[in-house]
Structure 1
């Protein structure tokens, strides 16, 4: 995964084109760098699962 692909996934999630997506531990560092630099960063929720996989969803209200 590269930064453009990560941003595309985040945009799709924010625009409700998809409900969730999974990130593998191999792609996490690139993905996280893009995520934390977004203005709507606190609207994304990541839930960790086995083998380093994380499922991201988008929240209507930002986390505190």
Structure 2
């Protein structure tokens, strides 16, 4: 049996990003302290180029989903 301490915890941003893509929420506000956790979940996405961030004061970022964005 695997000790529960060794199980990988799910990143809460994985579900939030999926909710954003599915249209359940309009935006995700990420505080500076949480940016690396968000980035870890964001990097797993195939279509991450459509999850767009706008920086605000004190290092906080607001992300929204824009599937029409061309790169």
Q: TM-score per shorter chain, which class?
A: 0.7 to 0.9
Runs of 4+ in 1 over 2 A off after TM superposition: none
TM-score, reference length from structure 2: 0.79
Matched with 2:3 is none
Quote the Cα distance in structure 1 between the aligned partners of 2:42 and 2:57. 21
TM-score, reference length from structure 1: 0.87
Bigger relative contact order, structure 1 or 2, given CA contacts below 8 A and separation 6+? 1
Gaps of 5+ in 1: none
CA RMSD of aligned residues (A): 1.5
Gaps of 5+ in 2: 1-8
